[in-house]
Amino acid sequence: MAGRRYTAQQMADAITEAKGFITVTAARLGCSRRTVDNYVKDYPTVREALEDARESRHDFVESRLMAAINKDNITAIIFYLKTQCKARGYVERVQQELTGKDGGAIEVETIELTDDERAARVAALLDAARKRRDRQAVDEGLA
């Protein structure tokens, strides 16, 4: 860790000022995002500053959500109920029913394959997938 451009305290302070946003921290210090990530990984005090800044940001956002709820903002109320009150039954339920032809039962046909037949089918599927990928690359001008 010798020869670092910033002290751990300088990095921690920059993270705190940037409210835990790594790219903002990097821009303010004139370094790369990777540099900030390395300090976070290498210095417990920097990692703690990042966690504290993000927790503070989360608290701020939650306080804004509660302010919207206090103003009877129905979207905020529904969001809160869906995310925080699941145990009380506030969840969206999606019911899907799968049926076969004309609403009947789904029919499944099983076939027995030898190892060679199975390998040939897998090879054919992979070949078809490669061809689709190559066509898509040509269509998108990537090839």
Residues 6+ apart with CB under 8 A from 31: 5, 6
Q: What does 43-106 look like in DSSP terms, one character per residue? A: -HHHHHHHHHHHHHHHHHHHHHHHHHHHTT-HHHHHHHHHHH-GGGT-----------GGG-PP
pLDDT at 56: 97
| H or E stretch at 25 | helix 22-29
- Give CA–CA dist 65/113, Å, rounded: 58
Residues 6+ apart with CB under 8 A from 124: none
pLDDT at 2: 60
Domain boundaries, the chain: 8-88, 115-143
pLDDT at 1: 60
Task: Give which of 59, 27, 26 is closest to 40, Cα–Cα.
Answer: 26
The tens place of each residue's pLDDT in the chain, 143 residues long, gives: 667 899 999 999 999 999 999 999 999 999 999 999 999 999 999 999 999 999 999 999 999 999 999 999 999 999 999 999 988 988 887 788 888 888 888 988 888 999 999 999 999 999 999 999 888 888 877 65
pLDDT at 131: 92
pLDDT at 143: 57
Phi, psi angle pair for 35, to nearest 5°? -60, -45
